[in-house]
Structure 1
Amino acid sequence: MAVAADIPTSMTVSYRCANSVSGKTSEVTPERTEPWTLVGLDSVMSASPWRTFRWHRGQRHYSGSFWSATERDLVIYESRLELARLLFADFDRSVQRILAQPFLLRAEVAGAPRKHVPDYLLLTSTGPVVVDVKPKSRVTKPDNMFVFGWTRQAVESRGWQYEMWSEPPHAELENVRFLAGYRRDWLFDHELLAELRAADLDGTTLTAACQSLPDRPRAIVRSAVLHLLWQQHFTADLTHPLSGNHVLRKAV
């Protein structure tokens, strides 16, 4: 299917705003609909998920909620692949906000009414990024390509970025998933973290870093080092399985 050359000005975006009491969501207001070309980023970023998910026996997708260090709150996901993208977003230091199921786009495209809810909206240091998640085996199906095509045009017409995301390299995903276990900063001794940040660990192995403070319990030091890897105070090559031989580099 071909995609219309131009996105019509009649395209609208619908979103659901949440009333907030002491920083916590209390209830969801009725939806709002505005022209896509005119809606403010602040309005969209304050939205509650357009749809939420139910769980039932025998369902094909594994949906749930993930506690995001970026949001310091739960973020929903509809599938294990969406959870993988959420993990990578939470690990990415350029990502400042993560919204799941952020809004509903409506437009007439190729002579028929169309609608689409993207999977994520990320606010990054380089601007908003709208993300759709789909397995590689399904990306090239004509119906999906058509939806992603006009969605990309709509998003890029705002000067935003659009991303079609599929399965990442296995080793990288497993490493990020492992490090996510050390994402909760309140669980770590801040004095210990400060000692590790001040230590000359650039170029040392992960094993050596974990042994760098002999007066501290090694298991506690190891957890703190892995937390600093999650925070990317230290970086390492995550393209192959993480081991004690990985060399740490101090992030610039």
Structure 2
Amino acid sequence: MSLACRVGQRHETDRRVARTYSVSSSEGSVAGGAAVSFRAGGRACEREPWETVSSATLAAASPWRTFRWHRGQQHYSGVYWSATMQDHVIYESRLELARLLFADFNPSVHHIGAQPFLLQVEVGGELRRHIPDYLLITDGGPVVVDVKPADRLSRPEVAFTFAWTRPLVQERGWRYEVWSEPEPVELENVRFLAGFRRRWLFDAGLLDEIRAACLAGGVVGEVAAGLPERDPAEVRAGLLHLLWTGELVADLSVPLGPASGLGRRS
């Protein structure tokens, strides 16, 4: 088959853990005529000029490639049910899963596409190809994301690929992000809150009572005491759901617990 034919302030969370890199122009100049291949409905392959393809078209595409699982494989791939997408999203490594969690947790993200397209362009006289890890559609516009462990960013082939990808993305007025390991405590908090992401599991009346009880702030451990007629376990679960949705916020740079202070999203 032809290659041409696959709870806190969450904006701040994404910015803190995103890392950006550049490579000098001496390593190769990017020529015009970049093209993008993507899989439209039914997995049919389409190809368009990179400079004119819309983000909506790419967001509607199927993953350019999918993954197989086999005994002894070195990477950890799988699927994650995203509250943002109300569907499963694939990932190819535990680090990609972490970025997926942060994207799902961010209220400004409205679409998450994995392995969204194949970007092709001539660089330094040779045809180069690259499949980014994610395409995010956000309040601030499209974001193209590459996920890579920090200890691999200095590899010449990795740095070179990211160096020619960045200007192509930015010339569209989109944001390009290279994402490495987040702060461990923050990741654990987001991973924990993800267990409370399914909205249909929570009684709407209870959530309204929790919202009212948290109007003046307070701490996590006090909310259940303010609703004595409700099951404390259900109150805590509902509170954690509101932290996931971003209606309530807490400092996720420290372990989340009963003494964690609560605020309202501004």
Report the alpha carbon displacement of residue 251 of structure 1 after superposing the two structures with TM: 1.3
- In the other structure, the counterpart of 2:69 is 55
User: Structure 2 CA distance, aligned partners of 1:200 and 1:238?
Assistant: 18
Report the alpha carbon displacement of residue 7 of structure 1 after superposing the two structures with TM: 3.3
State the 4+ residue runs in structure 1 displaced beyond 3 angstroms: 1-7
What does 1:61-140 align with in structure 2 at a 5 Å threshold? Answer: 61-140=75-154
SS in 2 for 1:211: helix
1:197-224 residue CA offsets vs partner (Å, 9 max, x unmatched): 1224433110001322110110011100
- In the other structure, the counterpart of 1:41 is 55
- In the other structure, the counterpart of 2:253 is 239
- In the other structure, the counterpart of 2:172 is 158
SS in 2 for 1:52: coil
- In the other structure, the counterpart of 1:228 is 242
Structure 1: gaps of 5 or more residues: 19-26
Q: TM-score, normalised by structure 1?
A: 0.93
User: Structure 1 CA distance, aligned partners of 2:165 and 2:226?
Assistant: 50
1:174 paired with 2:197, answer no
Report the alpha carbon displacement of residue 70 of structure 1 after superposing the two structures with TM: 0.3
Given that 1:128 and 1:161 are in contact with CA atoms closer than 8 Å, whether structure 2 keeps it comes out as yes
User: Structure 1 CA distance, aligned partners of 2:216 and 2:115?
Assistant: 40
1:175-197 residue CA offsets vs partner (Å, 9 max, x unmatched): 00000000000000011001111
SS in 2 for 1:107: strand
SS in 1 for 2:116: coil
- In the other structure, the counterpart of 1:194 is 208
1:8-60 residue CA offsets vs partner (Å, 9 max, x unmatched): 22210000012xxxxxxxx32x2101110111222111100000000000001
Given that 1:2 and 1:146 are in contact with CA atoms closer than 8 Å, whether structure 2 keeps it comes out as no
Q: In structure 2, what residue type is equivalent to 1:230?
A: W
SS in 2 for 1:123: strand
- In the other structure, the counterpart of 2:35 is 12
Given that 1:17 and 1:31 are in contact with CA atoms closer than 8 Å, whether structure 2 keeps it comes out as yes
Given that 1:210 and 1:221 are in contact with CA atoms closer than 8 Å, whether structure 2 keeps it comes out as yes
Q: Which has the higher strand share?
A: 1
Q: 1:31 is matched with which residue: 45, 55, 72?
A: 45
1:213 paired with 2:236, answer no
Name which of structure 1's ranges 66-75 and 5-14 shifts more when overlaid on structure 2: 5-14
User: Structure 2 CA distance, aligned partners of 1:146 and 1:5?
Assistant: 9
Given that 1:201 and 1:248 are in contact with CA atoms closer than 8 Å, whether structure 2 keeps it comes out as no
User: Structure 2 CA distance, aligned partners of 1:171 and 1:202?
Assistant: 26
Given that 1:171 and 1:240 are in contact with CA atoms closer than 8 Å, whether structure 2 keeps it comes out as yes
Give the superposed CA RMSD: 1.3
Structure 2: gaps of 5 or more residues: 1-22
Q: In structure 1, what residue type is equivalent to 2:262?
A: L
Name which of structure 1's ranges 199-208 and 210-219 shifts more when overlaid on structure 2: 199-208
User: Structure 2 CA distance, aligned partners of 1:81 and 1:115?
Assistant: 22
Name which of structure 1's ranges 81-90 and 30-39 shifts more when overlaid on structure 2: 30-39
Report the alpha carbon displacement of residue 150 of structure 1 after superposing the two structures with TM: 0.4
Q: Specify which structure has the bigger relative contact order, considering alpha-carbon pairs within 8 angstroms and separated by 6 or more residues.
A: 2
Given that 1:94 and 1:125 are in contact with CA atoms closer than 8 Å, whether structure 2 keeps it comes out as yes
User: Structure 1 CA distance, aligned partners of 2:119 and 2:83?
Assistant: 28
Name which of structure 1's ranges 106-115 and 6-15 shifts more when overlaid on structure 2: 6-15
